[in-house]
């Protein structure tokens, strides 16, 4: 064995003393080859192999081809192709078997390019490759997806007459399938005279991964019939399952399931069935298979957890995780990733940290596949600093890790942080791919950062991924959300292949900018295409019906959701509830809400609370909030902002204070929207002092905060304080808006501050460059009318730049009632009768004016006219808190059990003793 001094030192330096190394003793030189092979066969680790190899060198043993081959194969098995190459280079005149071993060593180490280079050197030496050479080379081409090189090797195979060899034929089929040339694969397969199960499985795998899964199912049947009764094995079934999952056909699932049950197959096939049913949306059947399995392994647990995660059943994923811990089972990467995903989606930080601890104990966290979802879990649970720290500590972070954490920040509403991470990634010279773009483009849309969005679009064009379905959809969505629908439509029309999510992006874009007509038009175009709508489509179409106020069309869309099987989707159900309530069918909304017992989330409850308030049902809104808490659902920001106006509406102070405590406990008290709602609620519940305290403690006040406080002063009739506060608002450089002027003018009219009201009204246009709206004119009409300044009031109405509405004429009629102005009262009523023909209150006011003026006949005629029109005066109503419950009392209501006690003679007696005399002069 000829070695240079450097080569001797190379292998000698790699050896280490090991108590586990085999005993090195070569006895009779004639037996060296056999003993050397025996020693090599006993190697269980790299160190032992290095010691034996070093011994060969030191002892001067000259190995034969068989020993060289064994050495190369062993180094290959230990993923040391460089050591194998050193052995190969030191071999004088290596035979073809050694070339084959070296090619195989590189393939084993995923260095397919080096394997093809070795083949090139082999041809330069004018050596003739054999069938094993070609088999290895075809595998290298398949792994590299190098069709061109594969075709070249195929030509050499044909020239040597080896195409019909079963091993080479199978290698050709596998290579063509993996490089996407199924036609050539089938042609080679059909030429093979002696096909074995491996050849059938290679062809089946290619067809299963193709865009025509039905062809794979047909081939599987042909395999059993036309293939000489070829009995499929477990590999055949595992190759077929991806095709069936693409078909999403429960009949095919049950058919293959039955085939598996009738025969005995290993656990791997049952794991495949679990995965199949889960991907087809039948996680319940998958769970049955999982429970009935004997000898479940870690793959079974991981597959079941991944199946639940795929179907959004995150509670079940965490239940399986807890069960695994109880049974002291080890997690694998799949189960760890699934558990982390579930904790992230449920925003369950405590459970996520528990999973993280478990992952660290099993030393899975060093794997980037597991480390990436750990980061995203912390980000989605609001622990953003922890997520960023894990990213910085992650060794070998790749583009997938960057894309995942950027997406997590964007989905958690931290768009600015997402873009900051993207810039950090860019500074580290990472080039974004389609996944990165899909992650960062939503952040651009949220921040309306159209400039960056356009830059990313240009980058996508430059690298040639703008026509990719995934990237194209993200671009359509970004432009649509940025109110650039023209650009969104251009990209949409240019996409060669449109997925349903691409259509959804455009439909949702139109709906979000308030253009329901184009949204519905896109939906109709989708229906005419070959693409079937999904739940995401309905989430965009149903709000379009809401914007149109078209209950009939909404009900029709509801029918289509049932037909499509989307009624069990929580987001679709929430959209339907909102649509029915906003379109006037609150009963239908309530029916869907109650029916969706297991589908209700925070959005469902928030929708019902808001819609109850829309219909003036404040008590029901408050009741829904209480029930939400009883069902252990955590209120969020939207919940509090929705329920506090309901509390204010019925002045339920005790309930309001309880909700305030809940807000503090959940840490929402510092949020400006919540603070504004609390100011309004306390002011309307009579506790202006609490409103002041909250206002003073707020760190981030906006114009709405000041307006809420200003409105509180107005409601309580504190005109002077309202004017002082309005002045302070301007001195504090807070931008006053039209709402500010409505509040301060209301304060002036309640306090009778005529001159101050005039100045403020005219300052809108002159000082603040704001055009008064109809509400501002209504305040002025009420202010001047209450003061009896009817000439000025009428002059103001006549100079209005818009048509007076019911608010203007109602304010004038009310003022006429105060001052018994019959003439203008009649004018006001004539207009109100046209604008609000069904409102009896206006007739009652005019009847009172007639009575005050002694015109009893006109008063009686007005009342008769009301009766003839079917109008009835709504009874007065007040809300009182009695024994911790808000009770509503109406005039003439005798349904309360305690009404005789509450309305007894004691009240009348007390008022008479105080000198009160009933005024019945206006009673008709």
Dump pLDDT digits (tens) for 411-422. 887 888 888 888
Q: Which residues on neighbouring strands pair with residue 312, listed in sequence order?
A: none
Nearest 5°: the CA angle 791, 797, 800 is: 140
For 420-446, the DSSP string reads HHHHHHHHTTPPP-HHHHHHHHHHHHH
Rounded mean pLDDT of 748-762? 91
- Residue 491, classed as helix, strand or coil, is helix
User: How many Cβ atoms from other residues are within 10 Å of residue 193's Cβ?
Assistant: 8
pLDDT one-digit tens code per residue, 842-893: 777 777 787 777 788 777 777 777 666 655 555 555 655 555 555 555 555 5
Cβ proximity of 140 and 115 under 8 Å:
yes
Instruction: Supply 26's token pair.
Output: 């070569």
pLDDT higher than 90, residue 825: no
Q: Domain boundary residue among 700, 719, 737?
A: 700
Q: Which residues on neighbouring strands pair with residue 885, listed in sequence order?
A: 882
* Residues 594 and 542 occupy one common structural domain: yes
CA distance 206 to 176: 8
Name which of 483, 486, 460, 485 is nearest 471 in CA terms.
460
pLDDT one-digit tens code per residue, 248-267: 878 888 888 888 888 878 88
* Residues 608 and 685 occupy one common structural domain: yes
* Residues 594 and 607 occupy one common structural domain: no
Specify the DSSP class assigned to residue 382. T
Cβ proximity of 504 and 537 under 8 Å:
yes
Angle between helical axes of 653-665 and 618-630 (0-180°, round to 10): 40
Tokens 């479940």 belong to: 296
- Whether 607 is covered by a domain: the verdict is yes
Instruction: Supply 375's token pair.
Output: 């980061």
Cβ proximity of 527 and 563 under 8 Å:
no
* Residues 672 and 618 occupy one common structural domain: yes
Residue range of the domain that includes 528: 498-599
* Residues 591 and 528 occupy one common structural domain: yes
**Percent of the chain residues topping a pLDDT of 70:** 86
pLDDT of residue 874: 55
* Residues 615 and 591 occupy one common structural domain: no
CA distance 922 to 924: 6
Tokens 């409505």 belong to: 742
Q: Which residues on neighbouring strands pair with residue 888, listed in sequence order?
A: 879
Cβ proximity of 824 and 816 under 8 Å:
yes
Instruction: Supply 52's token pair.
Output: 């034996």
Name which of 703, 656, 718 is nearest 682 in CA terms.
656
pLDDT higher than 70, residue 662: yes
pLDDT of residue 771: 92
pLDDT of residue 427: 86
Specify the DSSP class assigned to residue 698. -
Q: Domain boundary residue among 580, 599, 618?
A: 599
Whole-structure pTM value: 0.63
pLDDT one-digit tens code per residue, 551-575: 999 999 999 999 888 888 888 999 9
* Residues 614 and 693 occupy one common structural domain: yes
pLDDT of residue 888: 58
- Whether 526 is covered by a domain: the verdict is yes
Query: Contacts by 24-28 with C-beta closer than 8 Å and gap 24+?
Result: 24/51, 24/52, 24/55, 26/55, 26/59, 26/61
In this structure, what are the phi and psi dihedrals at residue 410, rounded to the nearest 5 degrees?
-65, -45
- Whether 836 is covered by a domain: the verdict is no
Instruction: Supply 594's token pair.
Output: 């109650």
Residue 876 backbone zone (phi > 0: left; psi -120 to 50: alpha; other: beta) = beta
- Whether 115 is covered by a domain: the verdict is no
* Residues 576 and 504 occupy one common structural domain: yes
Nearest 5°: the CA angle 102, 103, 107 is: 115
pLDDT of residue 209: 85
Confidence of residue 683 (pLDDT cuts 50, 70, 90): very high
3-class secondary structure for 838-860?
CCCHHHHHHHHHHHHCCCHHHHH
Name which of 651, 716, 708 is nearest 677 in CA terms.
708
- Whether 230 is covered by a domain: the verdict is no
Cβ proximity of 234 and 268 under 8 Å:
yes
CATH code of 555's domain: 1.25.40
Tokens 């460059």 belong to: 769
Residue 352 backbone zone (phi > 0: left; psi -120 to 50: alpha; other: beta) = alpha
pLDDT of residue 91: 78
Q: Domain boundary residue among 700, 719, 738?
A: 700
* Residues 559 and 578 occupy one common structural domain: yes
Cβ proximity of 228 and 240 under 8 Å:
no
Tokens 């005798």 belong to: 894
User: How many Cβ atoms from other residues are within 10 Å of residue 748's Cβ?
Assistant: 27
- Whether 891 is covered by a domain: the verdict is no
Contacts of residue 698, Cβ cutoff 8 Å, sequence gap at least 6: 672, 675, 705
pLDDT one-digit tens code per residue, 289-344: 999 888 788 999 999 999 999 988 899 999 999 999 999 899 999 999 999 999 99
pLDDT of residue 28: 47
Whole-number mean pLDDT of the chain?
A: 84
Confidence of residue 74 (pLDDT cuts 50, 70, 90): confident
Confidence of residue 288 (pLDDT cuts 50, 70, 90): very high
pLDDT one-digit tens code per residue, 600-656: 888 899 999 999 999 999 999 999 999 998 888 889 899 999 999 999 999 999 999
**Percent of the chain residues topping a pLDDT of 90:** 38
pLDDT higher than 60, residue 760: yes
Contacts of residue 140, Cβ cutoff 8 Å, sequence gap at least 6: 103, 106, 107, 112, 115, 116, 146
* Residues 583 and 618 occupy one common structural domain: no
- Residue 106, classed as helix, strand or coil, is helix
pLDDT one-digit tens code per residue, 515-553: 999 999 999 999 998 888 888 899 999 999 999 999 999
pLDDT higher than 80, residue 741: yes
- Whether 824 is covered by a domain: the verdict is no
* Residues 568 and 536 occupy one common structural domain: yes
Tokens 């519905």 belong to: 520
* Residues 627 and 582 occupy one common structural domain: no
- Whether 541 is covered by a domain: the verdict is yes
Least confident of 60-74, 657-671, 776-790: 60-74
User: Count of domains in the chain?
Assistant: 2
User: How many Cβ atoms from other residues are within 10 Å of residue 170's Cβ?
Assistant: 23
């Amino acid at each position: 064995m000829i070695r240079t001094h450097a080569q001797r030192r190379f292998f000698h330096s790699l050896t280490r003393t090991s108590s586990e190394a085999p005993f090195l003793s070569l006895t009779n030189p004639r037996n060296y080859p056999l003993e050397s092979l025996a020693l090599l066969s006993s190697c269980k680790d790299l160190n032992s192999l290095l010691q034996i190899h070093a011994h060969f060198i030191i002892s001067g043993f000259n190995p034969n081809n068989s020993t060289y081959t064994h050495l190369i194969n062993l180094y290959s098995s230990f993923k040391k192709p460089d050591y194998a190459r050193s052995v190969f280079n030191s071999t004088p005149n290596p035979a073809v078997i050694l070339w084959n071993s070296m090619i195989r060593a590189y393939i084993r180490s995923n260095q397919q390019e080096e394997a093809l280079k070795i083949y090139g050197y082999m041809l330069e030496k004018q050596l003739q490759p054999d069938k094993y050479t070609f088999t290895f080379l075809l595998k290298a081409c398949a792994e590299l997806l190098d069709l061109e090189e594969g075709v070249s090797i195929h030509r050499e195979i044909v020239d040597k007459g080896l195409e019909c060899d079963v091993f080479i034929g199978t290698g050709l089929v596998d290579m063509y399938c993996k490089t996407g040339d199924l036609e050539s694969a089938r042609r080679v397969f059909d030429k093979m005279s002696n096909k074995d199960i491996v050849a059938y499985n290679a062809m089946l795998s290619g067809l299963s991964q193709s865009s025509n899964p039905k062809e794979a199912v047909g081939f599987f049947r042909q395999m059993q019939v036309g293939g000489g009764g070829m009995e499929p094995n477990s590999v055949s079934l595992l190759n077929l399952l991806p095709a069936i999952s693409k078909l999403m056909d429960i009949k095919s699932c049950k058919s293959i399931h039955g085939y598996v049950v009738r025969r005995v197959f290993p656990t791997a096939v049952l794991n495949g069935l679990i995965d199949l049913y889960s991907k087809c949306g039948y996680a319940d059947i998958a769970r049955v298979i999982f429970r009935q399995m004997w000898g479940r392994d870690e793959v079974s647990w991981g597959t079941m957890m991944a199946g639940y995660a795929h179907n959004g059943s995150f509670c079940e994923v965490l239940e399986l995780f807890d069960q695994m811990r109880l049974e002291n089972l080890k997690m694998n990467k799949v189960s760890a990733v699934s558990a982390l995903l579930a904790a992230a989606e449920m925003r369950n930080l405590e459970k996520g940290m528990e999973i993280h601890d478990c992952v660290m104990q099993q030393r899975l966290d060093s794997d980037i596949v597991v480390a990436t979802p750990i980061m995203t879990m912390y980000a989605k649970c609001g622990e953003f600093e922890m997520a960023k720290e894990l990213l910085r500590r992650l060794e070998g972070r790749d583009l997938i890790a960057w894309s995942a954490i950027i997406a997590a920040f964007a989905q958690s509403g931290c768009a600015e942080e997402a873009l900051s991470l993207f810039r950090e990634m860019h500074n580290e010279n990472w080039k974004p791919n389609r996944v990165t773009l899909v992650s960062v483009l939503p952040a651009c849309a949220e921040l309306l950062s159209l400039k960056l969005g356009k830059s990313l679009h240009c980058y996508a064009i430059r690298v040639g991924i703008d026509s990719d379905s995934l990237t194209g959809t993200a671009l359509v969505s970004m432009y649509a959300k940025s109110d650039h629908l023209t650009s969104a439509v251009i990209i949409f029309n240019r996409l060669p292949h449109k997925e349903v999510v691409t259509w959804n992006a455009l439909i949702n874009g139109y709906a979000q900018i308030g253009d329901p007509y184009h949204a519905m038009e896109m939906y109709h175009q989708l229906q005419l295409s070959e693409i079937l709508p999904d739940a995401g489509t309905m989430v965009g179409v149903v709000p379009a019906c809401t914007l149109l106020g078209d209950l009939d069309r909404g009900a029709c869309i509801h029918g289509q959701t049932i037909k499509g099987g989307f009624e069990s989707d929580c987001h679709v159900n929430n959209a339907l509830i909102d649509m029915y309530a906003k379109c006037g069918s609150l009963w239908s909304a309530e029916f869907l809400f109650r029916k969706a017992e297991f589908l209700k989330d925070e959005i469902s409850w928030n929708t019902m609370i808001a819609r109850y308030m829309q219909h003036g049902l404040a008590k029901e809104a408050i009741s829904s909030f209480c029930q939400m808490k009883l069902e252990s659902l955590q209120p969020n920001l939207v919940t509090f902002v929705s329920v506090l106006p309901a509390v204010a509406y019925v002045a339920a102070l005790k309930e309001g204070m309880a909700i305030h405590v809940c807000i503090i406990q959940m840490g929402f008290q510092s949020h400006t929207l919540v603070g504004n709602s609390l100011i309004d609620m306390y002011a309307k519940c009579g506790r202006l002092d609490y409103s002041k305290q909250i206002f003073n403690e707020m760190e981030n006040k906006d114009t709405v905060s000041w307006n809420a406080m200003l409105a509180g002063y107005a409601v309580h009739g504190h005109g002077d304080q309202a004017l002082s506060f309005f002045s302070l608002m301007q001195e504090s450089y807070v931008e006053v808006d039209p709402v500010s002027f409505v509040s301060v003018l209301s304060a002036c009219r309640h306090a009778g501050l005529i001159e101050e009201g005039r100045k403020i009204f005219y300052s809108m246009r002159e000082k603040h460059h704001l055009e008064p709206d109809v509400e501002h004119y209504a305040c002025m009409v009420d202010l001047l009318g209450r003061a009896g300044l009817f000439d000025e009031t009428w002059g103001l109405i006549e100079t209005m730049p818009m048509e007076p509405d019911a608010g203007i004429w109602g304010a004038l009629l009310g003022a006429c009632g105060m001052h018994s102005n019959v003439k203008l009262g009649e004018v006001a009523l004539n207009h109100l009768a046209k604008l609000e023909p069904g409102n009896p209150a206006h007739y009652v006011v005019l009847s009172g004016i007639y009575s005050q003026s002694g015109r009893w006949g006109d008063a009686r005629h007005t009342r008769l006219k009301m009766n003839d029109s079917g109008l009835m005066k709504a009874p007065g109503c007040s809300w009182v808190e009695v024994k911790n419950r808000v009770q509503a009392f109406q005039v003439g209501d005798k349904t309360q059990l305690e009404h005789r006690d509450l309305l007894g003679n004691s009240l009348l007696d007390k008022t008479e003793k105080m000198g009160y005399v009933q005024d019945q002069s206006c009673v008709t």
